[in-house]
């Protein structure tokens, strides 16, 4: 199991969290997604390493941005 963390900018409510979780969950190989609204922390568990660009694209699809340096 592999875990990666990202910081998501722009989330303000529970709906934001749900949108990000839904999009990131659809990335192939992702097994679990946790999002902390207060900190913007996105934690992704997967079977193996996942290209961060795929996670960033999923977050953007949900309407948010991944902070630089994540």
**pLDDT at position 68, please?**
80
Q: 16: number of CA atoms within 13 Å, CB side? A: 17
Whole-prediction pTM:
0.92
Is residue 70 pLDDT above 60, yes or no?
Answer: no
Task: Please state, in angstroms and rounded to a whole number, the distance separating the CA atoms of residues 62 and 2.
Answer: 23
Burial zone of 11 (CB within 10 Å; 0-12 exposed, 13-18 middle, 19+ buried):
buried
Domains annotated on the chain, with CATH: 2-66 (3.30.70.100)
pLDDT tens, position by position, 18-48: 999 999 999 999 999 999 999 999 999 999 9
């Amino acid at each position: 199991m592999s875990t990666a963390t990202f910081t998501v900018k722009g989330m303000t409510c529970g709906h934001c969290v749900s949108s990000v979780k839904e999009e990131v969950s659809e990335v192939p190989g992702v097994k679990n997604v946790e999002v902390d609204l207060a900190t913007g922390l996105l934690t992704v568990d997967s079977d193996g390493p996942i290209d961060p660009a795929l996670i960033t694209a999923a977050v953007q699809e949900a309407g948010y941005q991944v902070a630089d340096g994540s």
